[in-house]
Structure 1
Amino acid sequence: MARSTAARQIASSPEAAPAPDLSGATPMMAQYIEIKAANPDCLLFYRMGDFYELFFADAETASRALGIVLTKRGKHGGADIPMCGVPVERADDYLSRLIALGHRVAVCEQTEDPAEAKRRGPKSVVRREVVRLVTPGTITEDRLLDPARANLLLAIGRRKLSETAHAYGLAAVDISTGRFSLSEVSGQELSGAISRHDPREIVLSEALHADPALARVWQETRAAIVPLPQGELEPAAAERRIREQYGVSTLEGFGQFSRAEIAAAGAALLYIARTQLAARPPLQVPTREAGGATLSIDAATRANLELTRTLSGERQGSLLDAIDRTVTANGARLLAEHLAGPLTDLAAIARRQEAVARLAEEPCLRGTLRDTLARAPDIARALSRTGLGRAGPRDLAAIRDGLDVAAALGARLGAEPDLPDALARLARRLARIDADLVETLRAALADELPLNRRDGNFVRAGYHPEIDEARALGQDSRKVIAALQARYAEETGCRTLRIKHNNMLGYFIEVPQSVGEACLKGLMQDFVHRQTMVDAMRFTSVELGELESKISGASDRVLALESAVFEDLAGRVLAGAEAIAETAEALARLDVAASHAELAVELDWRRPVVDDSLSFAVTAGRHPVVEAALRRQGEAFIANDCDLSGDTRGRIRLITGPNMGGKSTFLRQNALIAVLAQIGSFVPAAEARIGRVDRLFSRVGAADDLARGHSTFMVEMVETAAILNQATRRSLVILDEIGRGTATFDGLSIAWACLEHLHESNACRALFATHFHELTALGQRLARLDNATLKVAEHRGEVVFLHEVVPGVAERSYGLQVARLAGLPAAVVARAGAILKGLEKAEHDRPGRPRIDDLPLFAALAPPPPPPEPEPADDALGLLLDAIDPDALTPREALDALYRLKRARAEA
């Protein structure tokens, strides 16, 4: 269920917030309350020295969420002020946990040196400002992000088509990489489009969020939802924001966008501006996804097929996990994007296949490319952090190393003759790097780099003469400090005398408390007492103070010079940001192509034919996820054929067979083969020809939605209705056990009618698995319906599931055998067997019962007559019990009666 938040600090201007109550507050607490009032729906990380502190309700919330100690600090309004805090150095770890729980965090930093505040007066408070708002869809830090998953912010706009219909614009932005895409979908497609993007956060207007017709869509998404005031999302303002972002006077150069797409893009840029404050991320020019460019897959089908996540939300066990052989983070994200949106453009699919085929045919080339790619850092995210002013020296080094790898890959690919078009394009893009930028970064950055630039010491020696000079002064001063310590120790006779440094006192002389003033008696005229500790005394001297000034000046100068070098390097990187982003994309595309090729060779997958026909012919197809699981156990997967091909209409295959026979696996594997074929991958089959699929529908498995009051059967019917209402001639439909959630005749009637509708109205390619064996009679009436079953063998009373799909119908369901294998008590299985025999006998003996395949409609079925009362059977044990009077028996007679009952039981 979605986490919906009002986000007043983002949606409304600060002036709209009520004035906070500052009566009786200390200056520091008054500052906190004022900043918190401007950010009411964020947890406020308030910087105090080396900690981010939280107070009041924020402290209580964070304490529960993070499992940290809740303390208190002073009073306000007559009550204790709750407080908790996290170290600045570990703030990212705590932020990631809060963001994962759906919280927003306002990061409030000290923007003034404490010494400056003291000069304004003893009660002056250090200036602090919120420098950014951290939300699920706008994070950029590596430690907060999943390297293999895009971190999308999705904005949604709407335009009216008629009195009853609307079109919805979607703006998908990943500020961690700069990706920016626009698309427009119908109301029926909205839920599936949101599911395809899999956003972390959704931004929309308050009116759109409150629309009751869309309530179910918002309930189904897992993303955090942020409604914004309608007044701030006017079309004219939206277009202006786009022009300002890219510094253009018109959007015509970007292509034709609908009003809904422009509204969505404007909402996304507004939200990014509000959360990033003064920083502006280097977003790519928005690209428009044409309608129908990707295979339409609704949210239920994505969940059923477990394309990128399992039903429990895990990556492990999904199709993505089974096929991912990428070696870069950027490549892993692109593969997930391809899997979420398979292509429908036959030429684009063919280009991807040609690249995969070439790399699969040449193991040496593929191995070299993959080894080189594995050295490529995530330059897309490093570039984004640079544009936002959050980069560190390691980000610049990542861009340097990534461009270096790109140059090597471009040279290697460029040396290959007759490259397919897709690989030739990548070779040309990878060869066009800025060699001067790479050399500058290599010359400027040291071998060992700190995480943050404020830590300094990241400029290579010899790059900047002034830095080298200042560093030399600092190093000489350290030698002087060591010499001064040795001299003081000799003059005082105190071998444990040390000269130390901290942020509060600066440099100071420290001696043990046991030595104290006695040791320094002859030097007291030169020493000034600073501090007495429990086990030590601290002093300073004129000589030490003068030396500290020199050291401090040199250190500050080095840091300032290094900061200037960093800004210069970052500026050079951003000047070539567009080319670097294109290089990052080329690296990702090459990684994905090489991944597909590695997978095809490793698992013996074959190149499918994808054309514009209505074919669907798979020879010896296999389920990629199940096969991988069986391989780990040392077992083989049983391959099966599937042919749903048709000239003008698709065929339907009706599959019967026992539970555990493999029906659901067979259904899913063919759907997954279609998906793999249309992302440009090879497929797990000996041969495959797939006519382009425009929509994929899957209704497999049972689930309920109790939060919305939907039973398992209701969910089944809702999803089936969506399929029957939307499937086209080019669609592929996978249906399993339709009608099983209700009474037998009700379910049978619904399944019958659904089959007829798929055959006559939708005319699509479909696999339909059922336990209603009566439906197999439809094979004689529906021209394009074929019967198939899963083979089963019996050996010495045991059932063996062969997992082989063959033409025909199942003779029986083997439900009792499955129940016994599942561990039902033997008495329950035996009793079920007896009941089954009775029911089958009654069904066989009932005179005049018409055959189901003789009926035009199930509505013609009359209610079956009640079965005749069975003849009472002789009950020997009952007769014995009736003859016993327990109150009249002696202990000996009772024992004898028990033995008689036992013998009667044995004889029965």
Structure 2
Amino acid sequence: MAHAPARSVAKANPKPAADSVSSPALDRSGATPMMAQYIEIKAANPDCLLFYRMGDFYELFFGDAEIASRALGIVLTKRGKHAGADIAMCGVPVERSDDYLNRLIALGHRVAVCEQTEDPAEAKRRGPKSVVRREVVRLVTPGTITEDRLLEPGRANLLLAIGRRKLSEEAFAYGLAAVDISTGRFSLSEVPGVELGGAIARHDPREIVLSEAIHADPALARVWQDVTAPVTPLAQAELEPHAAERRIKEQFGVATLEGFGSFTRAEVAAAGAVLLYIERTQIGARPPLNPPTREANGATLAIDAATRANLELTRTLSGGRTGSLLDTIDRTVSASGARLLAEHLSGPLMDLTAIGHRQDAVTWLADDHGLRRALRDALARAPDLARALSRIGLGRSGPRDLAAIRDGLDAAAAISDLLAGAEALPANLEILGEHLRAADPALVESLRAALADDLPLSRRDGGFVRAGHHPGIDEARLLGQDSRKVIAALQARYAEETGCRTLRIKHNNLLGYYIEVPQAVGEACLKGIMRETFVHRQTMVDAMRFTSVELGELETKISGASDRALALETAVFDDLAAQVLAQTETVASVAEALAGLDVAGSHAELAVEQNWTRPRVDDGLAFQVEGGRHPVVEAALRRSGEPFIANECDLSGEGRGRIRLITGPNMGGKSTFLRQNALIAVLAQMGAFVPAAKAHLGLVDRLFSRVGAADDLARGQSTFMVEMVETAAILNQASRRSLVILDEIGRGTATFDGLSIAWACLEQLHEVNACRALFATHFHELTALSQRLARLDNATLKVAEHRGQVVFLHEVVPGVAERSYGLQVARLAGLPASVIGRAGAILKGLEKAERDRPSRPRIDDLPLFASLAPPPPPPEPAPAPDDGLGRLLDAIDPDAMTPREALEALYRLKRARAAQG
């Protein structure tokens, strides 16, 4: 009977996958014993593709085979019939299974790996129809993979679990447990409901698990629509609070959680959910996780999902890494350093002391070129300790993982010596140096003595124990590798004893090793020459075959030599792995220190290479940037040999300039200017230097960016709706410490509507949010607001005209744009000359009509703060207009008017009303 497999994971929602994994239930009746076993195991894992081990292949059957065939582009075949229909089948070689797993995981599928757990010979002894016992040994999901070939070296592979607790009738707080089982990282945090989407975006998980109740909450529907990772709901009954706390205690072998800190109920629920999912997918195996660390609410700069996307922090809008801020600033030389850099960029700090410590380390490394180069060379030789340690803990490691521990600890010792010889180490580097020295040198010596120089990928291949380390292994290897010499020596002795120079010792699959002599010699042997030694086996036409007790014993030794050597090597491997796991916390600490040093060195290398400067970050409200540049745009221009035009930005103080209203032509550089200042704030608070001649920034608590526009057709939202949703989030959450960048608010609707919305948003930012803001617009009418809004200042992008051609200077200066240069941009875009000519003629006509109308009214005459003041009392009923006013009103078409035309029409009505007395 087939062994009962472990329970399946709850049904997931793998968004990227094109096909559903779940298949209809299959009937075992009438199935062959092997197919009955497959059906039983598949029934226990209905939502996974089942990799069913058969010899050197993982086979897939029925619906799984059809899905895998399409997803992997492999041939779909047939294997017999079931219930009168052909059984679809396809398979992948075990040796190349990681490549196929990687492709399936990338498509959002989950895979149950079913291995043979007994020797086929054992199955035969149970009876002719017995099937080799098989079990599901693990469930491979996007958030639980550990194999190097399935992981991105520089990206964390986070599994994120979400729990919650009720604050009021309508409000919840959400706990997040982020675990990377490939490195052991385990962090907990709690956020209010309004920040859940941004928190998920910051973690950038590969997979999300939560309760069915949270997943089904209508208030969170938009959150799940926004995430790209597969979402796996778990049954509410499995997530009982006491069970969650028990799982945490069992994972870390403690009686109480107090030693880890104080956790909220939501955080404990999330931690319990993530440990339950790991236990289930790893079929009971426990990865070596670090103790959970709690991230206090407000510990990092809050950046919502839309802002992260708009600023392209870790990925561009197209989804790639190339061209993102992370790609531009990454000078790390190790995979662990690259992952930590991405983590720092995703969560800039709010702690001034921590920011200062990071900056001190960067300053020190930037000032000492020789030491920085030596440190980075040593770091480049350090393997990925964290991921090797995790695989060892899960029992999925190979000899190269042990070598990674050896070489990583060696590199850490060398780096520690470099730091020990330096003077005036900053506090951050001194702490990292102490962690690097924490490993036991005896562990390194043990690994160095036992492991060979050339190592196989898998321990099943053998040959990884150094010659001379274990006498039993050396003896077995000699017998296995030099069997020909041993057989030849025996053959020579037998030839001498029989006097037969043509005696040969041969081998075939039927007889094994045997002695072959001519028939005449064979008959003599039977009569007495070697009668006591040789045992007759076979008579041929012209030869006879014998064996001997000595040859039989030698054959047994030779045939078992490889198995014996591998068994002894496996024992050595297990002993070395146990030594490593006994120092799990120490090795993990060394891995973290290496990553931290790599990130500091990366920032220093970048600062020297690109001439970046250390920003001053304090608790004030300053925002002064001199000679600021956009890091990504500057890097692109440098590759093409073009300079970047640096600009200043001052949003400091309570007086004019806290909000800067920017006008200027398209392609003039408004969006670049807005983004570069937001990116400078992010870089400063992550502890890096910034692309500026000088920078003084007060802590930013929330960063908002509303730049660019796109339809969201999947949710039936237009460009303008997306714009308004994101703008609403900004106006409802921005505080006095926040930094807001807004571009072209109101351009997605009718002119009057758009101008009104942009106007009201500026008032709200100025009077209610009172934040630091950059506001770019094409509504030139808004520039007059600087006369009324005390903290509003106008700036524009300089443009020069030469022989009818426009030159964008990309320089931000005080003032107001005189025109938009739309026709020049259209010409650069390649619009047909006939269209450009016609547009020019229409523009001249409109401008002439504008000049012929009465002078433009002053914006001062319009009520600026009506939306912020109490509603006025109802107006007194006005007398009915006479025929003159009626004719004027009849001539007005509000939907066809520009803002300026509307204001002029209003003044004409006022003058007509005044004329009536």
TM normalised by structure 1 equals 0.88
The one-letter code matched in structure 2 to 1:206 is E
Report the alpha carbon displacement of residue 418 of structure 1 after superposing the two structures with TM. 1.4
Aligned residue for 2:9, secondary structure, equals helix
Seen in structure 2, the aligned counterparts of structure 1 residues 290 and 456 have a Cα distance that, compared at 3 Å, is: same
The one-letter code matched in structure 2 to 1:683 is V
Residue of 668, 673, 693 corresponding to 2:680 = 673
Aligned residue for 1:470, secondary structure, equals helix
Q: Deviations over 1:617-658 (max 9, x none)?
A: 000000000000000001110000000012499700000001
Residue 712 of structure 1 corresponds to: 719
Q: Deviations over 1:681-728 (max 9, x none)?
A: 000000000100000000001111111111010000000000000000
Residue 532 of structure 1 corresponds to: none
Seen in structure 2, the aligned counterparts of structure 1 residues 154 and 752 have a Cα distance that, compared at 3 Å, is: same
- Equivalent residues of 1:326, 1:591 under 8 A apart: yes
Residue of 65, 74, 87 corresponding to 1:68 = 74
- Equivalent residues of 1:200, 1:224 under 8 A apart: yes
Residue 319 of structure 2 corresponds to: 313
Seen in structure 2, the aligned counterparts of structure 1 residues 179 and 52 have a Cα distance that, compared at 3 Å, is: same
Report the alpha carbon displacement of residue 559 of structure 1 after superposing the two structures with TM. 1.0
Q: Distance in 1 between matches of 2:788 and 2:696?
A: 28
The one-letter code matched in structure 2 to 1:350 is G
Residue of 398, 416, 421 corresponding to 2:422 = 416
Structural mapping, 1:577-588, within 5 Å: 577-588=584-595
Residue 578 of structure 2 corresponds to: 571
Aligned residue for 2:8, secondary structure, equals helix
2:52 is equivalent to residue 46 of structure 1: yes
Residue 329 of structure 2 corresponds to: 323
- Equivalent residues of 2:99, 2:150 under 8 A apart: yes
Residue 892 of structure 2 corresponds to: 865
The one-letter code matched in structure 2 to 1:663 is K
Residue of 450, 459, 462 corresponding to 1:453 = 459
Residue of 813, 822, 834 corresponding to 1:827 = 834
- Equivalent residues of 1:8, 1:40 under 8 A apart: no
Residue of 540, 563, 568 corresponding to 1:561 = 568
Report the alpha carbon displacement of residue 845 of structure 1 after superposing the two structures with TM. 2.5
What is the identity percentage for the equivalent residue pairs of Structure 1 and Structure 2?
A: 79
Q: Deviations over 1:704-755 (max 9, x none)?
A: 1111111010000000000000000000001000001001111111001001
Seen in structure 2, the aligned counterparts of structure 1 residues 527 and 771 have a Cα distance that, compared at 3 Å, is: farther
- Equivalent residues of 1:614, 1:649 under 8 A apart: no
The one-letter code matched in structure 2 to 1:581 is A
The one-letter code matched in structure 2 to 1:40 is P
Q: Deviations over 1:227-272 (max 9, x none)?
A: 0000110111100100111111111111000000000000000000
**19-28 or 40-49, larger mean C-alpha shift:** 19-28
Residue 783 of structure 1 corresponds to: 790
Residue 397 of structure 2 corresponds to: 391
Q: Distance in 2 between matches of 1:702 and 1:843?
A: 31
Seen in structure 2, the aligned counterparts of structure 1 residues 526 and 793 have a Cα distance that, compared at 3 Å, is: farther
Seen in structure 2, the aligned counterparts of structure 1 residues 848 and 712 have a Cα distance that, compared at 3 Å, is: same
TM normalised by structure 2 equals 0.87
Report the alpha carbon displacement of residue 413 of structure 1 after superposing the two structures with TM. 0.2
Residue 630 of structure 1 corresponds to: 637
Residue of 796, 801, 809 corresponding to 2:816 = 809
2:791 is equivalent to residue 764 of structure 1: no
The one-letter code matched in structure 2 to 1:25 is A
Report the alpha carbon displacement of residue 841 of structure 1 after superposing the two structures with TM. 2.4
Aligned residue for 1:223, secondary structure, equals coil
Residue of 464, 482, 487 corresponding to 2:470 = 464
Structural mapping, 1:466-485, within 5 Å: 466-480=472-486
The one-letter code matched in structure 2 to 1:865 is I
Q: Distance in 1 between matches of 2:724 and 2:474?
A: 74
Q: Distance in 2 between matches of 1:308 and 1:232?
A: 35
Residue of 358, 365, 369 corresponding to 1:363 = 369
Seen in structure 2, the aligned counterparts of structure 1 residues 842 and 396 have a Cα distance that, compared at 3 Å, is: same
The one-letter code matched in structure 2 to 1:632 is R
Which 5+ residue runs of structure 2 have no aligned equivalent? 1-5, 12-22, 526-534, 540-544, 868-887, 897-917
**806-815 or 847-856, larger mean C-alpha shift:** 847-856
Q: Distance in 1 between matches of 2:102 and 2:177?
A: 25
Structural mapping, 1:94-133, within 5 Å: 94-133=100-139
Q: Distance in 2 between matches of 1:719 and 1:804?
A: 28
Q: Distance in 2 between matches of 1:20 and 1:35?
A: 11
Report the alpha carbon displacement of residue 121 of structure 1 after superposing the two structures with TM. 1.4
Structural mapping, 1:255-654, within 5 Å: 255-480=261-486, 547-647=554-654, 651-654=658-661
Q: Deviations over 1:755-792 (max 9, x none)?
A: 11000000000000011111111111111111000000
Aligned residue for 2:717, secondary structure, equals coil
Q: Distance in 2 between matches of 1:56 and 1:28?
A: 14
- Equivalent residues of 1:697, 1:732 under 8 A apart: yes
- Equivalent residues of 2:513, 2:555 under 8 A apart: no
Residue of 739, 753, 763 corresponding to 2:760 = 753
The one-letter code matched in structure 1 to 2:602 is S
2:183 is equivalent to residue 177 of structure 1: yes
Q: Distance in 1 between matches of 2:668 and 2:754?
A: 22
Seen in structure 2, the aligned counterparts of structure 1 residues 506 and 295 have a Cα distance that, compared at 3 Å, is: farther
Seen in structure 2, the aligned counterparts of structure 1 residues 522 and 317 have a Cα distance that, compared at 3 Å, is: farther
Q: Deviations over 1:22-59 (max 9, x none)?
A: 11111111111101001000000000000000000000
Report the alpha carbon displacement of residue 493 of structure 1 after superposing the two structures with TM. 9.7
The one-letter code matched in structure 2 to 1:672 is L
Aligned residue for 2:154, secondary structure, equals coil
What's the C-alpha RMSD, in Å, of the aligned pairs?
3.1
2:768 is equivalent to residue 741 of structure 1: no
- Equivalent residues of 1:605, 1:682 under 8 A apart: yes
Aligned residue for 1:226, secondary structure, equals strand
Residue 696 of structure 1 corresponds to: 703
Structural mapping, 1:118-157, within 5 Å: 118-157=124-163
Seen in structure 2, the aligned counterparts of structure 1 residues 818 and 24 have a Cα distance that, compared at 3 Å, is: same
Seen in structure 2, the aligned counterparts of structure 1 residues 222 and 493 have a Cα distance that, compared at 3 Å, is: farther
Report the alpha carbon displacement of residue 843 of structure 1 after superposing the two structures with TM. 2.7
Q: Distance in 1 between matches of 2:258 and 2:282?
A: 27
Q: Distance in 2 between matches of 1:540 and 1:221?
A: 74
Report the alpha carbon displacement of residue 563 of structure 1 after superposing the two structures with TM. 0.8
2:251 is equivalent to residue 251 of structure 1: no
Q: Distance in 2 between matches of 1:98 and 1:119?
A: 37
Report the alpha carbon displacement of residue 839 of structure 1 after superposing the two structures with TM. 2.1
Seen in structure 2, the aligned counterparts of structure 1 residues 647 and 858 have a Cα distance that, compared at 3 Å, is: closer
Q: Distance in 2 between matches of 1:494 and 1:790?
A: 98
Residue of 173, 179, 187 corresponding to 1:167 = 173
Report the alpha carbon displacement of residue 855 of structure 1 after superposing the two structures with TM. 2.0
- Equivalent residues of 1:507, 1:545 under 8 A apart: no
Q: Deviations over 1:432-466 (max 9, x none)?
A: 22100000000010101111111111111121122
Report the alpha carbon displacement of residue 560 of structure 1 after superposing the two structures with TM. 1.0
Seen in structure 2, the aligned counterparts of structure 1 residues 629 and 186 have a Cα distance that, compared at 3 Å, is: same
2:881 is equivalent to residue 854 of structure 1: no
Seen in structure 2, the aligned counterparts of structure 1 residues 385 and 801 have a Cα distance that, compared at 3 Å, is: same
- Equivalent residues of 1:774, 1:853 under 8 A apart: no
Q: Deviations over 1:400-432 (max 9, x none)?
A: 100010011111101112111001111111122
Which 5+ residue runs of structure 1 have no aligned equivalent? 1-6, 512-516, 530-538, 870-908
Q: Distance in 1 between matches of 2:290 and 2:642?
A: 48
2:32 is equivalent to residue 33 of structure 1: no
Seen in structure 2, the aligned counterparts of structure 1 residues 506 and 589 have a Cα distance that, compared at 3 Å, is: farther
2:198 is equivalent to residue 199 of structure 1: no
The one-letter code matched in structure 2 to 1:61 is I
Q: Distance in 2 between matches of 1:813 and 1:727?
A: 30
2:869 is equivalent to residue 844 of structure 1: no
The one-letter code matched in structure 1 to 2:424 is D
Residue 883 of structure 2 corresponds to: none
Q: Distance in 2 between matches of 1:244 and 1:862?
A: 79
Aligned residue for 1:642, secondary structure, equals strand
Q: Deviations over 1:152-197 (max 9, x none)?
A: 0000001000011100000000000000000000011000000000
Residue of 738, 760, 783 corresponding to 1:731 = 738
